[in-house]
Amino acid sequence: MSRTSVDVAKTPHCLSLKVLRLSRPSLKYQYPLPEQHNDANIKINPLAALAYPSQEQDQSFLISPLLTLPAQFGVTHIGETFCCSLCANNELAPDDTRSIQDVAIIAEMITPSQPKGIPMDAGEADASSNAPTTLQSGETVQRIVRYDLKEDGNHMLAVTVTYLEDGNLRTFR
């Protein structure tokens, strides 16, 4: 028994979308210790100078204790590049017989001067991920997009995912 397009529209989507903002790490704040004299009774542990002291440090990457990732989504300023990773995940169980094909992720940036949206640049390295693809259970399609901020005001990321589920076109935004 085959499902009609009305039945497909009522079922939940087989794909989920994850959005992750990409940013470069920054240096942690480090505070110098007071100078210690040989005659002083106070001994200060050198780890106290580190922002996040730890007894276990990876000596193969010496700069790692000095780097930190942003704690919040943060603000992007004019002249910076907004960059994010978009990932469409096939959420079907391994024993599900439905097929997911031709998955496409389209990203647009909605700005105060362009309320209809501006297509976001995927870059040369990510051009292949824009091609339609077939996803097996548990597989993902990832796309990294960038947008150079050139105007002040609120910006909104709009992502449209389109795919075929058993031959029926499905879309969510």
Q: Say if residue 33 is in the same domain as residue 91.
A: no
Question: Phi-psi region for residue 133, left (φ > 0), alpha (ψ -120 to 50) or beta?
Answer: beta
Domain range for 54 is 25-69
> What is the pTM (predicted TM-score) of this model?
0.65
d(CA 81, CA 77): 8
Answer with the one of 15, 40, 69 that is the final residue of a domain: 69
CATH for 167: 2.60.40.10
Structural domain total, the chain:
2
Provide the residue-wise pLDDT of the chain in tens; the chain has 173 residues: 455 555 555 788 889 999 988 877 666 666 666 666 666 666 777 666 665 666 665 555 555 556 666 665 667 778 888 888 999 998 888 888 888 888 989 999 998 898 888 888 765 555 444 455 778 888 888 999 998 888 888 888 999 999 998 888 999 98
**β pairing state of 156-165 and 100-110:** antiparallel
Residues 52 and 36 in one domain: yes
| Domain co-membership, 65 together with 90 | no
123 and 141 belong to one structural domain? yes
Let me know whether 81 and 29 are in one domain: no
Q: End of a domain among 14, 45, 69?
A: 69
